Amino acid sequence: MSDNTETSRQLLEIAHKTYRSEVLEELSGSKRYIGAMVANAMDIAARALERDDPAKLLEGLTEKTASSGSAELKALAAAIRAGHISAATHPELRDILLAYVCAKLEISNPRYLSKRQA
């Protein structure tokens, strides 16, 4: 983990603890719901900083481009739909895609993932 990433993680942790203990408790009504969404976003950001980028799991399925991750995902989806990438061309495709989805869920919704694995 780089020094920048570690510093970012520490700052986010401090901000999150302070927010939950000093701000969120003071909110009521619809503001409390909005506050909970902000806290959840902070949780997701913290988990994303602690884990490797799930897109790394997809490397080797498509040509690397200078485009963004979402463009690469769109290209992968198009290649699968067109039949250029399949279980026949990539026997490990199902396992890679499942690992990718699980890695994304570990960041965005770990409780859902733990319920499904139980």
Give the alpha-carbon dihedral of 39, 41, 44, 46, to 10 degrees. Answer: -60
**Hey, how many other C-beta atoms are within 10 angstroms of the C-beta on 61?**
19
Answer whether residue 16 shows pLDDT above 50. Answer: yes
**Residue 23's domain spans which residues?**
3-50
Answer whether residue 111 shows pLDDT above 60. Answer: yes
User: Both 73 and 86 in a single domain?
Assistant: yes
| Residue-averaged pLDDT of the chain | 88
User: Both 28 and 77 in a single domain?
Assistant: no
Q: What is the model's pLDDT at position 22?
A: 92
Answer whether residue 87 shows pLDDT above 50. Answer: yes
Q: What is the model's pLDDT at position 116?
A: 78
Look at the chain and report how many structural domains it folds into: 2
Confidence of residue 63 (pLDDT cuts 50, 70, 90): low
Q: What is the model's pLDDT at position 60?
A: 79
Q: What is the model's pLDDT at position 66?
A: 43
Mean pLDDT, rounded, for 88-105: 94
User: Both 110 and 64 in a single domain?
Assistant: yes
Q: What is the model's pLDDT at position 1?
A: 59
User: Both 69 and 110 in a single domain?
Assistant: yes
User: Both 19 and 60 in a single domain?
Assistant: no
Distance CA 22, CA 52 (A): 31
Q: Which of 8, 6, 4 is nearest to 16 (CA)?
A: 8
Task: List 62's β-bridge partners, or say none.
Answer: 59
